[in-house]
Amino acid sequence: MANITIQNVHKAFGEVVVLEDFSAEFRDGEFVTLLGPSGCGKTTMLRMIAGFEKPTRGTIKIGDRVVTSPDTFVPPERRDIGMVFQSYAVWPHMTVYENVAYPLRIKRIDRDTIQQKVEAVLEIVHLAQYAKRIPSQLSGGQQQRVALARALVAEPQLLLLDEPLSNLDAKLRDSMRFEIKEIQKALGITVVFVTHDQIEAMTMSDRVVVIYKGIIQQVGKPSEIYRFPANQFVADFVGKINFLHAMIDGTKLLINGTDQSLAYRGPLSGSVVVGIRPENIRFDSKSNDLTGTLLSQFYLGDVNDCRIDIGGQVIRVIAEPSTFETHKEGDVVKLRVEEFTTFMDDSFDDHQKIIT
Ligand SMILES: Nc1ncnc2c1ncn2[C@@H]1O[C@H](COP(=O)(O)OP(=O)(O)OP(=O)(O)O)[C@@H](O)[C@H]1O
Ligand SMILES: [Mg+2]
């Protein structure tokens, strides 16, 4: 079993707190992604699971085995984990084939099996024709795939991947995402994947752990994170979203600077922020949801990408391409809002300072 239990893990480097009270449970066979902006603590968490870093406090279990606690520490080589580091390290003096074969050699697997497995995995990472080269004769993206092949070949129960696709071009990255996912499903292994790329997180994961400033913001399936973000940070970090400032008045959300409102049923009161995804707004002349002035529109073939002024607050609307013909800049347009989320109007300025 390769489920991972992380209990109240806290990590500080000197005075600097990097992770705070991190608790999570990753299931056996699950593909979990740690997602968050640069510096939020993703690599540090992964290194603690692998055993390359000790937490200041807290416990980590792999399966039923405590690997890290105040009085236990299992070294990395005894955790049965495959790992690809962010700064991938491949052995410079070995050929691609030897690099990938190495984990099997030390397990004393027979030559024929090694050859068969190495060839199969090199095929998967599209490096079969480079087997005889040494790393200095490879591009960064090719070296990254050698590191990935070396982690995959031993078929570990638990695979930790720290931005393993960061150096690949868009097409290769797409294909590798698919391959990693297929391998994970076929072998039923647990994967903890680290990225700051929300598309990568959304497309590959069973569940996503969104981290910001060393604190878990939300854990959920990609669709939950996208549709029901726990706070404004998550809403903004995952996908595109408009934020409209508003006031709650009973069952109404009064949009600031207008006499317009959206129907509201929920627990919040006072000053709030309404989050609306651009694709959840439709041009609809019969709707009374929102009215605004079309500031600009860009025909992109599959969509009409618009900016609309709602009483001084500008929102983005991803509309049907046909609306480009039926509307022009300066028009007053009526909009239907299909889905929105409401947040307390609090600490977001803090986040924007960090991100920019
Ligand atoms: N050995 C160390 N000593 C001191 N500070 C460290 C050390 N390792 C990491 N940090 C700090 O801890 C914080 C989190 O680093 P970490 O590498 O976990 O971030 P990350 O989320 O992986 O970022 P990125 O997306 O840029 O890789 C950073 O502020 C970093 O400077
Ligand atoms: Mg990192």
Give 211 Cα–ligand 1 centroid separation in angstroms: 13
Q: Give the Å distances, CA to CA, from 214 to 14, 22, 56, 258.
A: 15, 8, 14, 38
The token pair that represents 220 in the structure block: 């959920």
User: Which protein residues have their CB within 5 A of the ion that is ligand 2?
Assistant: 43, 86
Q: Tell me how far CA of residue 301 lies from CA of 240, 283, 308, 320, 327, in angstroms.
A: 19, 17, 19, 10, 16
Task: Evaluate whether the domain defined by 240-355 bears CATH number 3.60.21.10.
Answer: no
> What is the residue type of 137?
Q
197 CA from centroid of ligand 2 (Å): 12
Comparing 97 with 167, which gets the higher pLDDT?
Answer: 97
- Rounded to the nearest angstrom, the distance between the alpha carbon of 298 and the centre of ligand 1 is 40
**pLDDT tens, position by position, 12-43:** 999 999 999 999 999 999 999 999 999 999 99
CB atoms within 10 A of CB 213: 18
What's the 128 CA to ligand 2 centre distance in angstroms? 29
**Would you list the domain boundaries of the chain?**
4-232, 240-355
- Going by pLDDT thresholds of 50, 70 and 90, the confidence category of residue 355 is very low
Give the per-residue pLDDT at 281.
Answer: 95
Say whether pLDDT at 220 is over 70. Answer: yes
Ligand 1 close to Cβ of residue 266 (< 6 A): no
Q: Is 195 in the pocket of ligand 1 (CB under 6 A)?
A: no
CA of 28 to the centre of ligand 1 (A): 27
Which band of pLDDT confidence, cut at 50, 70 and 90, is reported for residue 182?
Answer: confident
Cβ atoms of residues 137 and 94 within 8 Å: no
**pLDDT for residue 347:** 53
* pLDDT higher than threshold 80 for residue 350: no
Task: For ligand 1, say whether the CB of 39 is within 6 Å of any of its atoms.
Answer: yes
Nearest listed ligand to the Cα of residue 38: 1
- Structure tokens, 293: 């002035």
- Whether 46 lines ligand 1, by a CB cut-off of 6 Å, is no
The residue whose CB lies within 8 Å of the most ligand 1 atoms, and thus the one to mutate among 43, 54, 88, 217, is 43
Residue 44 pLDDT: 96
Q: Is 304 in the pocket of ligand 1 (CB under 6 A)?
A: no
pLDDT tens, position by position, 242-271 = 999 999 998 999 999 999 999 999 888 899
Identify the pLDDT of residue 115. Answer: 97
102-129 confidence digits (pLDDT tens): 999 988 899 999 999 999 999 988 899 9
Residue 354 Cβ < 6 Å to ligand 1: no
Map tokens 């005075």 to a residue. Answer: 15
| Residue whose CB lies within 8 A of the most ligand 1 atoms, among 11, 15, 16, for a mutation test | 16
Query: Which residue has the least CA distance to atom 6 on ligand 1?
Result: 13
Residue 173 carries which side chain, given as an amino acid letter?
A: R
The pLDDT, as a whole number, for residue 175 is: 83
- Closest atom of ligand 1 to 36 CA is 21
Query: What tens digit of pLDDT does each residue of 34-80 get?
Result: 999 999 999 999 999 999 999 999 999 999 999 999 999 999 988 88
Q: How confident is the model at residue 348 (pLDDT cuts 50, 70, 90)?
A: low
Indicate which atom in ligand 1 lies nearest the CA of residue 46. 18
SS3 324: helix
The predicted structure's pLDDT at residue 172: 82
* Mean per-residue pLDDT, 287-308: 95
- In CATH, the number for domain 4-232 is 3.40.50.300
Task: Note the pTM of the prediction, 2 decimals.
Answer: 0.89
- pLDDT at residue 345 tops 90: no
Q: What is the mean pLDDT of residues 173-186?
A: 86
Residue environment code for 103-116, b if the CB has 16+ CB neighbours within 10 A, otherwise e: bbeeeeeeeeebee
Instruction: Return the pLDDT at 351.
Output: 43
Distance between Cα 19 and ligand 1 center (Å) = 10
Classify residue 147 as exposed, middle or buried by CB count within 10 Å of its CB (0-12, 13-18, 19+). Answer: buried
Amino acid occupying residue 163: E
Comparing CA positions, the residue from 147, 132, 160, 57 lying closest to residue 100 is 147
- Residue 206 is predicted with a pLDDT of 97
Residue with token string 């609307």: 317
Beta strands 252-255 and 304-310 are unpaired
In short, whether 47's Cβ falls inside 6 Å of ligand 1 is: no
Q: How does the average pLDDT of the chain come out, rounded?
A: 91
Task: Give the number of other CB atoms < 10 A from CB of residue 295.
Answer: 13
Q: Is the CB of 211 under 6 A from ligand 1?
A: no
Q: Take atom 30 of ligand 1 and give the residue whose Cα is closest.
A: 39
C-beta of 196 in contact with ligand 1 (< 6 A)? yes
Query: Given CA atoms 25, 31, 36, 42 in this order, what sign does their dihedral have?
Result: positive
C-alpha 44 – ligand 2 centre gap (Å): 7
- Point out the ligand 1 atom lying closest to the alpha carbon of residue 45: 18
Asked if the model's pLDDT at residue 201 lies above 50, the reply is yes
